[in-house]
């Protein structure tokens, strides 16, 4: 079903629409000239009118954002924002499944004025309704991943903290934003790329180097260790066990994976792009 026709949609390098589901209610966000939300209360058969989320025109024009849905139907969207001239991280919340949105709030501003300019941010609610937001920072020449959290029912965010032990001095944007892991009890971890290598961190545990690659994503399936997928050369590889196992090839000529756990511990769905630029397709694997 067509959601909308927009004259311009920001796409590529993790740009593009996001979706959250709450029963029969669906919320889709997309950045055209503005950050826009669409909602459906009949499982996607029909869609409401667009709602503009960013309060300052064209401030979300970099096109990088993420949408998270909570178990109680709330939604949260975060995006890279240029309203103050330098790249900052902003967000907005919806208490009615995306039909209306609260006031824009500054989630984070770098003490060096700008966060990393074109790495996608991430947002995730855990099963209890706690929220985590992650982005790539830029402080004193370091392009490291940082995270803040917001407890269920709270309005304030925790003090932002750097993810992992190492640091990456880089005078450029690597265009790689990583992904958050919900660990339970309000604790969160992450997978991310640093200097051409993929790392995972689970709460207060030391970071683990998973190997060379980029664009990692991960998902928990019940009580099992997280499954991690990332690009290694021209292939998409998978790691199903963090205890000394070697990554295996998931798909050839594949990139930009996205993964979600199926309800009831019934595995995961993995989607990714594959093929040449002029003949790109999307594949979906059930694992």
CATH code at 138? 2.120.10.10
Q: Once rounded to an integer, what is the mean pLDDT over residues 168-174? A: 95
The verdict on residue 13 lying in a domain is yes
pLDDT for position 265: 81
Apex 122 CA angle, 229 and 145, nearest 5: 80
Tell me: pLDDT of 255 over 90.
Answer: yes
Question: What average pLDDT does range 43-47 have in this prediction?
Answer: 94
**236 lies in a domain?**
no
pLDDT exceeds 80 at position 174: yes
Task: Return the higher-pLDDT residue of 99 and 241.
Answer: 99
258 belongs to a structural domain: no
Residue 23's pLDDT is 77
Confidence of residue 205 (pLDDT cuts 50, 70, 90): confident
In a domain, 46, yes or no: yes
Q: How confident is the model at residue 52 (pLDDT cuts 50, 70, 90)?
A: very high
Reply yes or no on whether the pLDDT at 17 is more than 80. Answer: yes
Predicted TM-score (pTM) of the model is 0.96
Task: Give the range among 199-208, 217-226, 228-237 with minimum mean pLDDT.
Answer: 217-226
Which residue range forms the structural domain that includes residue 21? 1-178
pLDDT at 131 over 90: yes
| Residue 44 and residue 23 in contact, taking contact as beta carbons nearer than 8 Å | no
Q: How many distinct structural domains can be found in the chain?
A: 1
* Mean pLDDT, residues 135-140 taken together: 97
pLDDT at 166: 95
- Give a yes or no: residue 81 inside a domain: yes
* Residue that wins the pLDDT comparison between 12 and 35: 35
Mean per-residue pLDDT, 194-210: 93
| pLDDT mean across residues, the chain | 94
Task: Report the alpha-carbon distance of residue 77 to residue 105 in Å, rounded.
Answer: 11
Q: Is residue 256 part of a domain?
A: no
Residue 169 placed within a domain: yes
Cβ-based neighbour number of residue 103 at 10 Å: 7
Mean pLDDT, residues 121-125: 97
**Is 137 a domain residue?**
yes
Q: Which CB contacts under 8 angstroms, 24+ apart, belong to 32-38?
A: 32/6, 32/7, 32/8, 33/8, 33/57, 33/58, 33/61, 34/58, 34/60, 35/60, 35/65, 35/77, 35/79, 36/4, 36/6, 37/77, 37/94, 37/98, 37/101, 38/3, 38/4, 38/98
Residue 116, pLDDT above cutoff 80: yes
Is 263 strand, coil or helix?
helix
pLDDT beyond 80 at 222 = no
The confidence score (pLDDT) of residue 22 equals 82
- Give percent of the chain with pLDDT exceeding 70: 99
Please tell me the predicted confidence (pLDDT) of residue 220.
84
């Amino acid at each position: 079903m067509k959601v909308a026709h927009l004259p311009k949609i920001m796409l590529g390098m993790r740009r593009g629409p996001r979706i959250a589901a709450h029963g029969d209610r669906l919320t889709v966000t997309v950045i055209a000239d503005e950050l826009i939300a669409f909602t459906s209360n009949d499982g996607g058969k029909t869609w409401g009118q667009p709602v503009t989320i960013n309060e300052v025109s064209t401030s979300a024009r970099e096109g990088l954002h993420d949408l998270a849905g909570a178990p109680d139907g709330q939604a949260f969207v975060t995006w890279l924002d240029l309203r103050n001239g330098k790249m900052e991280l902003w967000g907005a919340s919806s208490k009615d499944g995306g039909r209306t949105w609260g006031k824009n709030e500054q989630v984070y501003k770098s003490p060096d004025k700008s966060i990393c300019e074109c790495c996608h941010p991430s947002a995730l609610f855990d099963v209890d309704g706690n929220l985590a937001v992650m982005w790539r920072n830029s402080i004193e020449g370091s392009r490291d991943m940082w995270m803040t959290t917001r407890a269920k029912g709270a309005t304030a965010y925790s003090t932002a903290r750097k993810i992992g032990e190492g640091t990456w001095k880089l005078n450029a944007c690597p265009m790689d934003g990583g992904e958050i892991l919900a660990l339970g009890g309000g604790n969160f971890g992450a997978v991310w790329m640093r200097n051409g290598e993929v790392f995972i961190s689970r709460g207060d545990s030391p970071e683990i180097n998973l190997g060379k690659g980029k664009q990692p994503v991960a998902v928990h399936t019940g009580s099992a260790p997280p499954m991690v997928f990332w690009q290694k050369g021209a292939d998409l590889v998978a790691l199903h066990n963090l205890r000394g196992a070697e990554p295996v090839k998931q798909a050839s000529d594949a990139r930009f994976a996205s993964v979600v756990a199926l309800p009831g511990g019934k595995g995961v769905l993995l989607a990714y792009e594959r093929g040449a630029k002029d003949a790109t397709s999307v594949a979906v694997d059930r694992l």
